[in-house]
Structure 1
Amino acid sequence: MTAELNARLEPTGERWTLVFIRELRKPPEEVWGALTDPGRLERWAPFTAERDLGTTGDTTLTMIDGDESTPLPATVRRAEPPHLLEYTWGDDLLRWELEPSGAGTLLTLRHTLPGEDGLGPMVASGWHLCLDVMERLLDGEDVRAVRGEEAKEHGWEDLRDRYAKMFAG
């Protein structure tokens, strides 16, 4: 089962920022661990991390697609546990904001993309699936990341089309 669509695209100078919002059932401290711990990241994210992302400084995030991996330079610019994590990933900027919401967390991801807004629906559908997996991981399920071409087997194309329609309208 997949969560409802809750995202928008905002112009950011010459770039676009995907603002992706998700309600999670776990408190910010637990979500923070899923966002920063390399062992947990590799279970849900589109990349692996060479170190814990909970402290500032340089690192490498390696994008995984089947047997292919692409290491990209990254810099953790802000790490304010358990509420704010911001890092570069290649030419992208990701900012994760965690707010308490009842017994859970309101997660807001601001993913600033290089180039034109046509990437928005593709990136949104990818994060949608990743966060579906993260939510299941936080709930204690034994899950693994859905990355690259494999995402097509999990409804990525339908999600992309739905986000494209939502962003156009």
Structure 2
Amino acid sequence: MIATLQASLVGATATFERHYKQPVDKVWAMLTDNALLAKWFPELKAQDLSAGGSMIFDMGDGSSVVMEIMDIKVNSILEYVWGNDSVRFELSPDGDGTRLLLIESISEITSHTAKDLSGWHVCLDVIEALLDGEELQNRKKVWEQWFVEYTRLVEEFRFTRTNRG
């Protein structure tokens, strides 16, 4: 299911909702255990899992970006700086499984927004596949398909914002 994109006081908020069959602690580990993070987001590492701690993003050119953890509650909330924005994962039990919300606060809609949203969408698909003991085949092709949908979503959002009134 595609994310929702809504106006906020500081720009926009993209919200992804997923339901995984596995319990919260298994999903939490996907977000915080570096060995598991590497399977779905190899550029991302947890450095210090505490409020004020950090996640590290490897830029792939020998440099990295330190992203401050803004909020963390084990098995429940992980929020960190994401460029000029933030990403927040909220986990809650859902029967025997887990409900995950990924909320990206976006200060400005740019030409890169649809790419980022498509990327998060595929990341969540990869997490699901890994949790199910599978592997998502051809991530690039899947990303390209979602990029078309997220480009449309971002353009509709821009149109609505420009023409409301």
| TM-score bracket relative to the smaller structure | 0.7 to 0.9
**Equivalent residue runs for 1:66-85 within 5 Å:** 68=61, 71-85=64-78
Alignment match, 2:20: 24
- Unaligned 5+ segments in structure 1 are none
1:161 Cα shift? 1.2
1:57 aligns with 2:52: yes
What is the aligned counterpart of 2:98 among 101, 105, 109? 105
1:125–1:52 Cα change, 3 Å: same
Q: TM-score, normalised by structure 1?
A: 0.78
1:20–1:77 Cα change, 3 Å: same
1:33 Cα shift? 0.8
RMSD: 2.6
What is the alpha-carbon distance in structure 1 between the residues aligned to residue 24 and residue 54 of structure 2?
23
Q: Which has the higher contact order (CA 8 A, sep 6+)?
A: 1
1:156 aligns with 2:130: no
Give 4+ residue runs of structure 1 displaced > 6 Å after superposition.
none
Q: Which has the larger radius of gyration?
A: 2
1:158 Cα shift? 1.9
What is the alpha-carbon distance in structure 1 between the residues aligned to residue 132 and residue 95 of structure 2?
16
Aligned pairs, how many?
A: 156
Q: Is the 8 A contact 1:75 1:88 kept in 2?
A: yes
- Unaligned 5+ segments in structure 2 are 158-165
